[in-house]
Amino acid sequence: MPQRVLIGVGGGIAAYKVCEVVSSLAQSDRDVRVIMTAAAEQFVAPLTLATLARHPAYGDRHEWTGDRGRPLHIDLGEWAQVLVLAPLTANTLGKLAHGLADNLLTNTVLASTCPVLLAPAMNTDMWNQVSVQRNWQQIHQDPRYHAVGPGAGRLACDRVGTGRMAEPAEILAQVRSLLYTQGRRDLVGRHILISAGSTREFLDPVRFIGNPSTGKMGIALAQAALHRGATVTLVHGPMEAALQTGLNGVERSPVTTAEEMYQALLHHLPRTDWLIMAAAVADVKPAQTHQHKLPKAELPESLPLANVPDLIATLKQHKQPHQRFIGFAAQTGDIVTPALDKLQRKGLDAIAANPIDQPHSGFGSDDNQAILIDAQGRQQAIAPCSKLEMAHQLLDFVQDLP
């Protein structure tokens, strides 16, 4: 049965971004319904959202058109598994913070029990008003409500500041997390340290030894942990394109080389509960580096190499009893045997063995699959799925570690 997402669109220029959210959810086989406030219909035509959702967009005029003669806000409130308010205006925020309902959208929120994702958007001065901030803090006393954004940048009024609605990719990621968790914040109080992406070991300023890792798996882990309430630090190699998905709320530490990654991880390790090493760290580096670009004629016919220290094995020397270390083993062919060897040799608590020679998994893919193995020999297969869903399954697996 398709997952059910109800989108509530408020009256703001950011409503145009919701079109991408609705379209992406519908194209990924979610069942999508849309409610528009009267003001929202001044910014986006109901026909546009109805076409993208493959279902009529509802407005206040539809209040009494529910099934079996029931009010529509009751039907929709009971139907939704996740409710998204985007853009959330100051007006709607104020109503919800005080339990008020005077239109189809606010009535539906009060008639529902599912998680509600809030994506506020407004002028910077409006957002910074004491009354608006008071309402924002008050509504978060209810654990049903989750937030994405607002971000900072140039607004439609040409002001530069906080008030931009979160980008569609950020909203979509949190919707997918809420569909998986149903709003659980089961990682509150945990600090999770994640490594992601590749490292680069330079021969000269323009040539390096690297690998194709894009960092998408590490980003998915950071998002999943953040959405479940954890404090997250992401130490990542160069991956500018992947970072466009947005990581608001994640502490980021960008690095380039394996040595820089080690130093950053070591710095954050003392306050860490879980270390998840999703990065593809170089195994070797040029034995000699050059400060200036080598002319082609001076490139060595054979390149002397030096070993890169094993990061997780070295970090293991600083491990505290309460900490859990989780590794990744990207493999071709038999993925379990080398992963078991790595798990035991490095003294890890768990490892994710994932194939990089299968369709829709591995480097650069939006999807992945794996076999999770813990130090007691427990194994759990993760069938091909999005990297965000795999991240949630891995976090569940780690929670069950002894």
Res. 322: pLDDT tops 70: yes
Strands 201-204 and 191-196 come out as unpaired
| Pairwise CA distance, residues 11 & 43, whole Å | 7
Res. 296: pLDDT tops 90: no
Portion of the chain with pLDDT greater than 90, in percent:
67
**Packing angle of the helix pair 216-227, 387-399 (nearest 10 deg):** 60
Mean pLDDT for all residues in the chain: 91
- Domain finish residue from 181, 211, 242: 181
| Pairwise CA distance, residues 184 & 391, whole Å | 15
Strands 367-374 and 379-386 come out as antiparallel
Question: Average pLDDT for residues 238-267, to the nearest whole number?
Answer: 85
Instruction: Kindly report the pTM of this predicted structure.
Output: 0.91
Q: What is the DSSP letter of 89?
A: P
Res. 163: pLDDT tops 90: no
Q: Radius of gyration over alpha carbons of the chain, in Å?
A: 24
Res. 391: pLDDT tops 80: yes
Portion of the chain with pLDDT greater than 70, in percent:
97
98 and 241 both lie in a single domain:
no
Per-residue pLDDT band at 67 (split at 50, 70, 90)? low
Is 232 a member of any domain? Answer: yes
177 and 216 both lie in a single domain:
no
User: DSSP per residue over 267-297, as a string?
Assistant: HHGGG-SEEEE--B--SEEESS--SSPPPGG
CA angle 321, 193, 324 (to 5 degrees): 25
- Domain finish residue from 181, 215, 244: 181
Res. 326: pLDDT tops 90: yes
- Cβ atoms within 10 Å of 209's Cβ, excluding its own: 18
271 and 151 both lie in a single domain:
no
Is 186 a member of any domain? Answer: no
Integer angstrom CA distances of residue 5 from 135, 178, 184: 25, 10, 17
Is 113 a member of any domain? Answer: yes
88 and 108 both lie in a single domain:
yes
| Pairwise CA distance, residues 228 & 270, whole Å | 22
Is 377 a member of any domain? Answer: yes
Res. 242: pLDDT tops 70: no
Of 125, 104, 113, 115, nearest to 62 (Cα)? 104
Say which amino acid occupies 282. Answer: A
Res. 66: pLDDT tops 80: no
196 and 123 both lie in a single domain:
no
In the sheet where 274-277 sits, what is the strand order? Answer: 251-254, 231-236, 191-196, 274-277, 324-331, 350-355, 367-374, 379-386
Supply 155's token pair: 């607004």
Coil, strand or helix at 79: helix
With beta carbons less than 8 A apart as the criterion, state whether 306 and 284 touch.
yes
Is 43 a member of any domain? Answer: yes
Question: Average pLDDT for residues 78-101, to the nearest whole number?
Answer: 96
Is 254 a member of any domain? Answer: yes
Domain range for 233: 191-399
Per-residue pLDDT band at 330 (split at 50, 70, 90)? confident
Three-state DSSP string of 172-237 = HHHHHHHHHHCCCCCCCCCEEEEEECECCEEEECCEEECCCCCCHHHHHHHHHHHHCCCEEEEEEC
Integer angstrom CA distances of residue 92 from 85, 118, 256, 371: 9, 11, 45, 45
pLDDT score, position 133: 96
Res. 65: pLDDT tops 70: no
pLDDT score, position 299: 86
Res. 148: pLDDT tops 70: yes
Active site residue 157: yes
Per-residue pLDDT band at 159 (split at 50, 70, 90)? confident
288 and 380 both lie in a single domain:
yes
With beta carbons less than 8 A apart as the criterion, state whether 207 and 144 touch.
no
**Packing angle of the helix pair 90-97, 130-139 (nearest 10 deg):** 50
140 and 54 both lie in a single domain:
yes
Q: Worst-scoring range by mean pLDDT, 42-56, 130-144, 347-361?
A: 347-361
- Domain finish residue from 157, 181, 205: 181
Per-residue pLDDT band at 91 (split at 50, 70, 90)? very high
| Pairwise CA distance, residues 91 & 109, whole Å | 14
What CATH number does residue 311 fall under? Answer: 3.40.50.10300
321 and 220 both lie in a single domain:
yes
**C-alpha torsion sign, points 340, 343, 346, 347:** negative
Question: Average pLDDT for residues 222-243, to the nearest whole number?
Answer: 88
268 and 376 both lie in a single domain:
yes
363 and 214 both lie in a single domain:
yes
Burial class (CB in 10 A: 0-12, 13-18, 19+), 296: exposed
Burial class (CB in 10 A: 0-12, 13-18, 19+), 240: exposed
With beta carbons less than 8 A apart as the criterion, state whether 285 and 210 touch.
no
Number of domains in the chain: 2
pLDDT score, position 185: 95
What CATH number does residue 120 fall under? Answer: 3.40.50.1950
Is 351 a member of any domain? Answer: yes
67 and 166 both lie in a single domain:
yes
| Helix intervals (H) in 290-401 | 311-315, 336-345, 387-399
Of 174, 177, 157, 155, nearest to 165 (Cα)? 155
88 and 230 both lie in a single domain:
no
pLDDT score, position 279: 92
